[in-house]
Chains A and B, each alone.
Chain A
Amino acid sequence: MIIIKGKFVNIREVDINDAKFILSLRCNNKKSKYLHKTEYNLQKQIDYIKKYQTLNDELYFIIESKKNKPIGTYRIYDLKQDSFCIGSWLMKDNCTPFEMMEGEYLCKNYAFEQTGFEKFHFDVRKDNKKVIKYHKMMGAQVVAENELDYLFECSKEDYLKNIKKYLIIQ
């Protein structure tokens, strides 16, 4: 199992024991407002994780506090020619900004190292203004849009340049 230790958080691959925690985030009305709806069904979530464990083109991370408590989720998927997609980024309400930023950084950095890609892509609901603002702040640019979403791309170089303003990266 992949385990990466940071200053504020650790990240590790998801396990079937995380199903309940994942549902607690994904079925939270406020957090899931801009996500695909998830049914609160523990067995389905366990089956989803079991299926993930058979894949070799995805990474599903649990972000943990330094006390080994799960505080967030993050997924890397949809590997294209030179870019990976980020998503399923949800954090517990009481996590600190540093836990949030470092958790995301560790996941992305691992994906950059493993894939050798120099950029990533993702989409954000047009109404989700604060998340749009955050990603733009981290160097992402809108490259397309549809009725519901903005489609973003961000280079590794731009992301690292911006995250280093906020996070002390060794």
Chain B
Amino acid sequence: MEIKEILKIAIDELNEQLEDDEKVEFSENTKFIGSNACIDSITFVTLISIIEELIEDQYNKTIHLVNEKAFSQKRSPFYSIETITAYIEDLLKEEV
């Protein structure tokens, strides 16, 4: 399964926990962190956890998205669906 598909499933699962006015849209314009973020911090952490669980199920690999590498990058890898996708793909390549 492609990482982007996993993110779509993760967002669907996240939306089950959210109120109607908090639902997250799976869109390239959706921002997850920063001043234009569509989710609050607790929702962000929950999303990260769901993504990690799905990666483990699909790829049989345990990855921790919030790690030293995430802090060391100039632009947060958690900014958008595109950047999260690229970040996870990099992490999975490193695992090989």
A167 in the interface (beta carbon within 8 A): yes
- Report the stretch among A39-47, A108-116, A131-139 that lies at the interface: A131-139
B80 in the interface (beta carbon within 8 A): no
Question: Beyond A95-B41, A100-B41, is A134–B64 a contact (Cβ under 8 Å)?
Answer: no
Question: Beyond A97-B33, A130-B17, is A165–B66 a contact (Cβ under 8 Å)?
Answer: yes
Chain A: number of interface residues, binned into ranges = 20 to 34
Neighbouring A residues of B67 by C-beta, 8 Å: 168
A32 in the interface (beta carbon within 8 A): no
Q: Give the A-B pair count, Cβ closer than 8 A.
A: 52
Whether the pair B68, A101 counts as a contact (CB closer than 8 A) is no
Apart from A97-B44, A166-B64, 9 more pairs, CB < 8 Å: A93-B40, A96-B33, A96-B41, A97-B41, A101-B41, A129-B17, A130-B17, A130-B18, A167-B66
In the bound complex, what is the Cα–Cα distance between A137 and B45 (angstroms)? 9
Chain A contact surface mostly: helix
Chain B: number of interface residues, binned into ranges = 20 to 34
Question: Which among A93, A97, A133 has the greatest number of chain B C-beta atoms within 10 A?
Answer: A97
With both chains docked as a complex, state the minimum distance between the C-beta of A141 and any C-beta of chain B, in angstroms: 16
Neighbouring A residues of B64 by C-beta, 8 Å: 165-166
